[in-house]
Amino acid sequence: MASIDYESKIPNNVDLASDKRLQRALEKWQPEYLDWWHQMGPTDYEANDIYLRTAISVEADGWAHFGYVKMPDYRWGIFLEPQQKGRVVPCGDHYGEEAWQEVPGEFRTELRRIIVTQADTEPASVEQQRLLGHTAPSLYDLRNLFQVNVEEGRHLWAMVYLLQRYFGKDGRREAEELLERRSGNPDRPRILGTFNEPITTWLDFFMFTMFTDRDGKFQLLALAESGFDPLARTCRFMLTEEAHHMFVGQTGVGRVIKRTCEVMQEYPDACPSEHGAIPLPLIQKYINFWVSSSTDLYGSEISSNAANYFAAGLKGRAYEEKKYTEHKAMDGSYVIEKLEGDRLVKEEVPLRNAMNEVLRTEYLEDNQKGIDYWNRITAKHNIDFNFCLPNRRFHRNIGLYTGLHFDVEGNPMSKEDYEARVHEWLPNDEDRKFVTSLMVAVKEAGQFAGWIAPPAKGLNGQPVDFEYVKL
């Protein structure tokens, strides 16, 4: 079962051939998906050969097969981790019962909603990134962009399979609507805030893959602990692909920092911007923007939705099985800081209601590791500059801190003070104009734009100057 059927129209390891009804539904959706891709994907590169990895089996040695592919010919398909015998519902009120292979009727609405929300982010990100190819700093980076794009497309397939297989007519309607909403469209926007933000420069792209794809990692880790077994298995396989997306962000920003450090060493008395590099404080502002926006993706600090999902066993904590010993979370509590007047006060809330905050905390800790990696780059160049994460209260638009004002360290402040200082913390028009001015396409193999250092090594054992995209 672990190998993938590449003969059929839709590659899969779910034995699609024996479910004719589902096969018909998916085969009807496939051309609509391709229409969407031809309209909203990286359409100007459809004819180019790209050195991409494709999954040919879900085993450790089979899911990363490399070769030249034209993107519209990418074999998008449906791959689930093999089923584990005897798996149980890992959390909530039904903890320990046999995991569900079909949707429990009582949780149908909630489960559909979770899957649709997850699904919606995948095509959204492709839409957000569709024009970046034109300003790629190298062929290596261009190929990474396209790898991320085709895999986000596959993640949409993964969710659409669940909708069409398990949710009947409603699921089919949702699958259509996933191709109708558009990132940033005021009339039919994508569901979650960050997925409507424009990604206009490669600095934004690297920040997005670092911080927003990392939300993907943690949401998938939580859904990998779902009692609905097909969802858990799908998410486990998606996580293997996700690691590369975050690698692109982590090393991408790291290379920008490295380049700036080199310019600072060469011209110690000048601003790096005079020599075509991005000043470190400006990189910090982009961090502040994308971290705060992505921090919103966990929802409200105190959430009855989150409590219900956990209680029902639809969504666990990250590493629920491995990391925790008590899986019902009935009696625990969690401390949340609330603003009362101009003071922060601690409040204990029932653990189940704080599940969004629990996941957000894990996410922020993981982000910190990335920040530490970047700080090692500045330290190695003997440059006295420390990147940091903005406090979780800074610049929030969802949850308890919405409409309130905090500095990047999380101290409450007045609206007036905040507005007078926000330009120190978030990129302003001038900053964005400067970063945009650096974005010029570099199309020769092995050459890199002046604002970014080459990577330490190429991909899949290939040299850095390999022709990753045939233009």
**φ, ψ at 66 (rounded to 5°):** -100, 145
230 contact, one of ligand BYC, Fe ion, none, CB 5-8 Å limit per kind: none
* Least Cβ distance, residue 45 to ligand BYC (angstroms): 19
Closest CB 318 distance from ligand BYC, rounded Å: 12
* Contacts of 337 by beta carbon, 8 Å cutoff, 6+ apart: 344, 345, 346, 347, 393
Instruction: Specify the residue, 213 or 431, whose C-beta has the smaller distance to ligand BYC.
Output: 213
Site for ligand BYC, rule CB under 6 A: 114, 117-118, 121-122, 125, 152, 192-193, 212-213, 215-216, 219, 296-300, 303, 305-306, 315, 356, 398
355-380 helix and 213-223 helix, angle to the nearest 10 degrees: 140
The interface partner of residue 127, options being ligand BYC, Fe ion, none and the CB cut-off 5 to 8 Å by kind, is: none
Q: Can you tell me the distance from the alpha carbon of 1 to that of 12, in angstroms, rounded to the nearest whole number?
A: 10
Q: Which residues 6+ apart lie within 8 Å of 252 measured at CB?
A: 141, 144, 202, 205, 206, 209, 210, 452
Long-range pairs of 25-33 with CB within 8 A, sequence gap ≥ 24: 25/164, 25/172, 26/78, 26/160, 26/161, 26/164, 29/160, 29/164, 29/172, 29/175, 29/176, 32/176, 32/179, 33/76, 33/153, 33/156, 33/157, 33/160, 33/179
Under rule CB under 5 A, residue 120 binds Fe ion: no
Binding Fe ion (rule: CB under 5 A), the pick from 127, 197, 213, 407 is 213
Q: How far is the CB of 245 from Fe ion (least distance, A)?
A: 4
Residue 281 Cβ, how far from Fe ion at the closest point, in Å? 28
Compare residues 13 and 219 and give the one whose CB is closer to ligand BYC: 219
Q: Quick one: which H or E segment has residue 318?
A: none
Is residue 155 close enough to count as binding Fe ion by CB under 5 A?
yes
H or E stretch at 54: strand 49-54
Rule CB under 5 A: is residue 215 a binding residue for Fe ion? no
User: Which listed option, Fe ion, ligand BYC, none, makes contact with residue 219 (CB within 5 to 8 Å by class)?
Assistant: ligand BYC
Residues 86-115 that bind Fe ion (CB under 5 A): none
Instruction: Report 239-258 residues binding Fe ion (CB under 5 A).
Output: 242, 245
The strand pairing partners of 333, in sequence order, are 350
Residue 190 Cβ vs Fe ion, minimum distance, rounded to whole Å: 13
**Residue 129 C-beta: closest distance to ligand BYC, Å:** 9
Q: Is 127 in the site for Fe ion (CB under 5 A)?
A: no
CB 44 within 8 A of CB 134: yes
Closest CB 195 distance from ligand BYC, rounded Å: 7
Could you tell me how far CA 99 lies from the centroid of its own chain? 27
Interface residue list for Fe ion (CB under 5 A): 122, 152, 155, 213, 216, 242, 245
